[in-house]
Structure 1
Amino acid sequence: MRDLVIMAIVAVMGVMALKRPWIGVMLWTWISIMNPHRYAWGFAFSAPVAAIAAGVTLLGLFFTRDRQSPFQGAPVNWLLVFSIWATLSWMFGYDPIADYEQWNKVMKVYFMTFVALMLLVNKLHIMAFAWITALSLAALGAKGGLFTILNGGNYRVWGPAGTFIGDNNHFALALIMTVPLLHFLQLQLQRPWMRHSMTMLMLLCVAAALGSHSRGAFLAIAAMGALLWWRSRRKGLMTAALLVVFLLMLPMMPAEWWERMGTIRSYEEDASAMGRINGWLVAIEVAKHHLFGGGMSYQHQIFFSMWGVYNTDVIAAHSIYFQILGNHGFIGLALYIGFWVATYLYAGWLRRYARDIPQAKWAVDLGNMVQVSLAGYAVGGAFLSMPYFDLPYNLMVMVVLARRWVETRGWEREPTVPFLEYAGLRRAKRTRSLDESASPVSARLES
């Protein structure tokens, strides 16, 4: 039955995408992030659903007139240059044949990121993209959170097998990054039962992240929770949510969990932590001796035998920064960091320049919460290897498109969407004249 349901959804959305290719972007996002076919037990498990989604989207893109240039800001330019550098790194890496599969996988994510930037052209598209992105992970988080609560945190929570987030640590960080995005969506809801349901969903995602027993995720929760509280417009509700986490969820975690978190302070006594440090030192040496780094992976025995300090065991980088450094060298790391700094600044632009525009209040909320999510990614990612996962790049797409929407006064051509009004999504009232509501953005553009 699961197989039939999944393939039916793919078939229906695929047909719709031929005429409205932005729906194909939603289909691709759902498949690439949630990987629903990995929860099937029959033919759908290995069906090329991602290829189908990409194929119908590109076919629709070819025929539609409702498209735009993907190069709409600094983050996109940074990503393009990094993509080119990563390709050169793969070509001149230690083992390009073995690394081809990873390069191909990553480039598909980047390519569809550019496609999304071309096809999402209004607020409806941006909001739908945010909902699909958030709920694709939140559904898994709700399942993992219930599992953690029912089992008292005695068993670890894992993501979909064979995906970017299959590992418990990676899955936890993805869920933590999803919480601010869920809060952004919550701020757009007016019906109380919807807002309360979103609060429960966020708490379940946090429970699932705690249930992963990931130390990196725990640090991300601490850093992001503080910033989320500071940025939230509903500090009372956010305070209550944080108290639930600290007073109810943490005490229920087993002794094994507390012992594992305790190794954060005594990392020099933990073999796993020292192994990670050894991997980081090897990454530095690889970058020092190879301009393009080791390729799409620097995890080769020859590198660890030459430059391993504590041992010669090949180990994953367990850090987005050191993985990029070992894979693509110092220039690659600079490009990667530049991309995320530009994205963070774009989100900050929304906070500053859209706050005086009633119709763009949602864009201010988006900028706020994307910055919180990126802060969690920056902290948690320092100890986890997931630099190529779709979610952070989707956040970039949202803020770049939202900024374009604000700069071009997108509310003037916003389509009427009855479903959104039924759902209770906030729609700003036109309480000012267009000249007033456009400032200070219009004034800045005209100058």
Structure 2
Amino acid sequence: MCRASCRKSRANTVIASPNWNRHGTPIRNKGEGADMRDILVTLIVLASIPYIFKQPIWGGVMWIWISVMNPHAQGWGFARTFPFAALIACVTLAAILMSKERQRFPTMPVSIAMLAFLGWMGLSTLFAIHPDGATEQLIKVTKILGMSFVLLMVTKSRRQIMLVLWAVVFSLGFYGVKGGIFTIRSGGSFRIWGPEGTFIEGNNEIALAIVMVIPLIYFLYTQTENKWWRYAGQAAMCLCALSALASYSRGAALAIGVMGAFLWFKSHNRLTFGLLLGFAVPLMLMIMPGEWFDRINSINDYKEDGSAMGRINAWNMTFNLAKERPLFGGGFDIYDPGVFLLYAPNPLDVHAAHSIYFQVLGEHGFVGLLLFALIGFLTWRNCGWVVRQAKRVEELRWAASLASMIQVSLLGFFVGGAFLSLAYFDVPYYLVVIAAATRRLVSRTLRTRAEEARAAASAPQPFAESALS
């Protein structure tokens, strides 16, 4: 359906992956033996196993690298189909069970909401319109949320939080920087696409993912005094923004605008950041060709745009389906001619949901949408609490800055996700984990400081010398 049409359009676009040349045609057939990329990814994964057993957090880092960046998808041989993610998950779980440090499931409101959401998706699968396809998708989503729970269990210290953050930034920033460089070389004449067979395969999806990583790069940029790292951070942010624009995604352009304004509002030095935006934005727009402006301006003529009207038709279908099945919706895998024939205004225009909100509504009903929104609300509240509490303590100001940038990143997801079927994209759930772990760390630090202050106040004071004379 949607992905098929996307693949057809690749003849005139460029994929941000070495699997395709600049004309969208394969360089060589997949599965032709193995190359250095296959061997390199395999060696890195195998070499990480001893570190995972020593510190299970490395299992979470490797999981993010494999599941988000999909480095094995850059190869041509056995690595493309080898179950690296399953291997890492099994090793990580074994490491947790064998660890001397007791790992407990964190009973926080957001973790309980995630568990409830997963349980509700299980119930909706029992009553799904297409049980077989729904069960297959439920297994995939369970793996994502399951490893998110594992990450929340093992991410406790500042160092561990930063490791998880760096894993996300590197995995997505790789495509953003690479796509930005290609856009400069090509003058923005070709679209940017993500790695095949992943959540971020499409041009719209890779654009939103890259948009979400920009605030996280900005946080890392603010945490270093090394001028070369700061230059690298500035360059990476600009290249990522350029790459997102070169996807020709109208939703990403809207998300960048909203997120940029909020990022400026959240930044500590608004004058400097405003000057950077004032310099970078016109420069990036000068690179883009006239076709890009025509594409963005088509937002005003959405009624004449087949893609936009297809989205609205799919939104109506999911809403009508949810009205008839308000508790559990239709389950996963509902985007087919039979379902559209029953619930869509135009039954012949079959599309994916193209909205995280309508996707969850149609698949899991109003209760599922409420739980999904609750996860976002609780995460936003966690970040807000960290900002208010941590900014008062010098040693915790990094946490306040990180929480602010997570809010900016999530805002990009909330806005851009309104036009994409990315409700189960794993990166937002990893941001939920980072925000929850940061709140837990800040709360523990403040509690320790309060206990030390009470102990110091209640300790007997020595007599002054004047009292003895």
1:445 corresponds to: none
1:252 corresponds to: 287
* SS of residue in 2 equivalent to 1:362: helix
> 1:72, CA displacement in angstroms?
3.8
> 1:128, CA displacement in angstroms?
0.8
1:123 aligns with 2:141: no
User: 1:321, 1:256 → 2: CA distance?
Assistant: 30
1:358 aligns with 2:394: yes
Backbone CA RMSD of aligned residues? 1.9
User: 1:70, 1:31 → 2: CA distance?
Assistant: 24
2:296 corresponds to: 261
Q: Which amino acid aligns with 2:386?
A: L
**Is the deviation greater in 280-289 or in 305-314?**
305-314
Q: Which amino acid aligns with 1:93?
A: A
Report matched runs for 1:141-152 at 5 Å.
141-152=176-187
User: 1:121, 1:71 → 2: CA distance?
Assistant: 11
User: 1:70, 1:105 → 2: CA distance?
Assistant: 21
> 1:410, CA displacement in angstroms?
7.9
Q: How high is the TM-score relative to the length of structure 2?
A: 0.86
1:435 aligns with 2:441: no
2:29 corresponds to: none
Q: Deviations over 1:23-52 (max 9, x none)?
A: 111110111110000001222121111111
> 1:304, CA displacement in angstroms?
0.8
- Preserved contact between residue 99 and residue 295 of structure 1 (Cα < 8 Å): yes
- Preserved contact between residue 337 and residue 347 of structure 2 (Cα < 8 Å): no
Match among 12, 15, 21 for residue 56 of structure 2? 21
User: 1:311, 1:99 → 2: CA distance?
Assistant: 21
Task: Count residues in correspondence.
Answer: 419
Instruction: Name the CA shift for 1:105/1:241 in 2 (closer, same or farther; >3 Å).
Output: farther
Match among 120, 125, 133 for residue 85 of structure 1? 120
Q: Deviations over 1:62-88 (max 9, x none)?
A: 111334323242111111100000111
4+ aligned runs moved over 6 Å, structure 1: none
Q: Which amino acid aligns with 1:373?
A: S
In structure 2, the gaps of 5 or more residues are: 1-35, 457-469
Instruction: Name the CA shift for 1:376/1:312 in 2 (closer, same or farther; >3 Å).
Output: same
User: 1:133, 1:54 → 2: CA distance?
Assistant: 17
User: 1:358, 1:391 → 2: CA distance?
Assistant: 29
**Is the deviation greater in 312-321 or in 234-243?**
234-243
User: 2:451, 2:270 → 1: CA distance?
Assistant: 32
2:437 corresponds to: 401
**Is the deviation greater in 15-24 or in 129-138?**
15-24
* SS of residue in 2 equivalent to 1:189: coil
Match among 241, 244, 252 for residue 209 of structure 1? 244
1:441 corresponds to: none
> 1:104, CA displacement in angstroms?
1.1
Instruction: Name the CA shift for 1:327/1:335 in 2 (closer, same or farther; >3 Å).
Output: same
Match among 416, 419, 444 for residue 383 of structure 1? 419
Q: Which amino acid aligns with 1:142?
A: V
* SS of residue in 2 equivalent to 1:113: helix
- Preserved contact between residue 86 and residue 332 of structure 1 (Cα < 8 Å): yes
User: 1:264, 1:245 → 2: CA distance?
Assistant: 24
1:318 aligns with 2:354: yes
2:198 corresponds to: 163
1:424 corresponds to: none
> 1:393, CA displacement in angstroms?
0.7
In structure 1, the gaps of 5 or more residues are: 413-429, 439-447
1:333 corresponds to: 369
1:342 corresponds to: 378
2:229 corresponds to: 194
Report matched runs for 1:263-302 at 5 Å.
263-290=298-325, 291-302=327-338
Q: Percent identity?
A: 43
User: 1:246, 1:167 → 2: CA distance?
Assistant: 24
Instruction: Name the CA shift for 1:256/1:67 in 2 (closer, same or farther; >3 Å).
Output: farther
Q: How high is the TM-score relative to the length of structure 1?
A: 0.90
> 1:434, CA displacement in angstroms?
5.8
User: 2:136, 2:315 → 1: CA distance?
Assistant: 24
**Is the deviation greater in 389-398 or in 243-252?**
243-252
User: 2:128, 2:144 → 1: CA distance?
Assistant: 20
* SS of residue in 1 equivalent to 2:103: coil
1:444 corresponds to: none
Q: Determine which structure has more spread, i.e. the larger CA radius of gyration.
A: 2
Q: Deviations over 1:227-251 (max 9, x none)?
A: 0011011324422432244211112
> 1:208, CA displacement in angstroms?
0.8
> 1:384, CA displacement in angstroms?
1.1
**Is the deviation greater in 304-313 or in 325-334?**
304-313
1:58 corresponds to: 93
* SS of residue in 2 equivalent to 1:408: helix
